[in-house]
Amino acid sequence: MITIALDVMGGDYCPDSNIEGALDALKEDKELKLLLVGPSDLISEKISDWDPELKERAEILNATEVISPEESPVFAVRKKKDSTLVVGSRAVKEGRAEALVSAGSTGAVLGSGQLVVGRLPGVLRPPLASLIPTKKGFKLFLDMGANVDAKPEWLLQFAMMGTIYMQQVCHLEAPQVKLVNLGTEEEKGNALTKGANELLKAAEGINYQGYIESRDVIMGEADVIVADAFTGNAILKTMEGTVDFVMGSVKEVLKSSLKTKLAAMLIMKPLKAKLKEYSASEQGGAMLLGLNGLVMKCHGNASGKDIRVALIKSAQFARENVCGVMREAFKEDKEQ
């Protein structure tokens, strides 16, 4: 049995889509237990019509407060000791759950992960990692936006964590790791990438393949793509914006005349199917790695299906013992 905590009160469609996702995950995975974190009265009522077998695998963990997106994350995490995020994070910290899934505000999820769940010994900073769609399938990208003003040593550790994730969860033996830079030539780069490049070249246990230009990230030219949080955020947000922009332009063309409207009827179905291949919705949320357990952040507008996927993926993460392997790796790393 694997136990995962769910922040019932996170996200735009809480609590209903979260409860729905919880129900579907329990139905799908018979070895899954859930800690439903939120106001116990409310949750009791919401799950009152569940099948008894499912209800048995769903424990309610009372938490009466909610951290809103408007609050200063660090301040709120410190102050609201009875918030769903803090209570859920404490459950992970204390080993009562292997992971916490939340669609709450990014800052608060990062904050409670770092401050309450806490870093594994030896980990300098926990990166936010995400499986992103590329031409060659889903690849792990980190740091997506957790730690600004990075140091070369942090990027080295991100590469280690990415490697362990891809080995344990995706079963790649020696995942290719590349570092985002503004050119692939050795002499190019800023102080950060040049420093990290030297550390990565010297590191054992990392299949480091050098620099990658940001235009090749979406081409899937590496299994693990490492960047500092500022650059990672810029790349991922630019991808999102550009996809929206280009598809918007294509749609404008398709609506522009009778001829093109006819064409639209002919291609809409295969076009949608193609776009679905690249949809991130089967990948769960973004993962805060390097902690005493996994913290998975779902999109604020997560549907019941998104929550279900996040819970199932978190359980897989726990079964593959990613945290245990990371704990060992960083212990050794610290001892050296």
Question: Which of 174, 160, 150 has its CA nearest to residue 123?
Answer: 160
First to last CA, the chain: 35
- Please identify, using beta-carbon distances, which residue of 44 and 260 lies nearer to a copy of itself: 260
- Please identify, using beta-carbon distances, which residue of 192 and 318 lies nearer to a copy of itself: 192
- The least distance separating a copy of itself from the CB of residue 197, rounded to whole angstroms, comes to 13
Judged by CB under 8 A, does residue 187 bind a copy of itself? yes
- Please identify, using beta-carbon distances, which residue of 61 and 227 lies nearer to a copy of itself: 227
- The least distance separating a copy of itself from the CB of residue 196, rounded to whole angstroms, comes to 13
- Please identify, using beta-carbon distances, which residue of 212 and 326 lies nearer to a copy of itself: 212
Half-sphere exposure at residue 307, Cβ-oriented, CA atoms within 13 angstroms: 33
Residues of this chain, 225-284, that bind a copy of itself according to CB under 8 A:
227, 229-231, 233-235, 237-250, 252-254, 256-257, 259-260, 262-264, 266-267, 270-271, 274-275, 278
Amino acid at 283: Q
Cβ proximity of 237 and 191 under 8 Å: no
**String marking each residue 19-38 x if it binds a copy of itself according to CB under 8 A:** --------------------
> Judging by DSSP bridges, how do beta strands 128-134 and 99-102 pair with one another?
unpaired
Residues of this chain, 82-121, that bind a copy of itself according to CB under 8 A:
none
Judged by CB under 8 A, does residue 213 bind a copy of itself? yes
Judged by CB under 8 A, does residue 174 bind a copy of itself? no
H helices present in the chain, as ranges: 16-28, 40-46, 52-56, 73-79, 84-93, 106-112, 152-168, 191-202, 229-254, 258-277, 304-319, 322-335
State which of residues 156, 218, 288, 296 lies at the interface with a copy of itself (CB under 8 A). 218
In 106-221, DSSP assigns E strands to: 128-134, 137-142, 176-181, 207-213
Alpha-carbon gap, residue 140 to 162, rounded angstroms: 7
Cβ proximity of 21 and 307 under 8 Å: yes
- The least distance separating a copy of itself from the CB of residue 145, rounded to whole angstroms, comes to 6
Alpha-carbon gap, residue 281 to 167, rounded angstroms: 22
- The least distance separating a copy of itself from the CB of residue 170, rounded to whole angstroms, comes to 22
Maximum Cα–Cα distance across the chain: 70
Name the segment binding a copy of itself (CB under 8 A); options: 5-13, 163-171, 197-205, 224-232.
Answer: 224-232
Name the segment binding a copy of itself (CB under 8 A); options: 18-26, 117-125, 185-193, 312-320.
Answer: 185-193
State which of residues 20, 59, 216, 320 lies at the interface with a copy of itself (CB under 8 A). 216
Cβ proximity of 312 and 28 under 8 Å: yes
State which of residues 135, 136, 276, 334 lies at the interface with a copy of itself (CB under 8 A). 135
Environment class of 299 (CB within 10 Å of its CB; exposed 0-12, middle 13-18, buried 19+): middle
Alpha-carbon gap, residue 144 to 146, rounded angstroms: 6
Rg for the chain, CA atoms, rounded: 21
Judged by CB under 8 A, does residue 68 bind a copy of itself? no
Which parts of this chain interact with a copy of itself (CB under 8 A)?
A: 72, 135, 145, 148-149, 180, 182, 187, 189-191, 193, 213-219, 227, 229-231, 233-235, 237-250, 252-254, 256-257, 259-260, 262-264, 266-267, 270-271, 274-275, 278
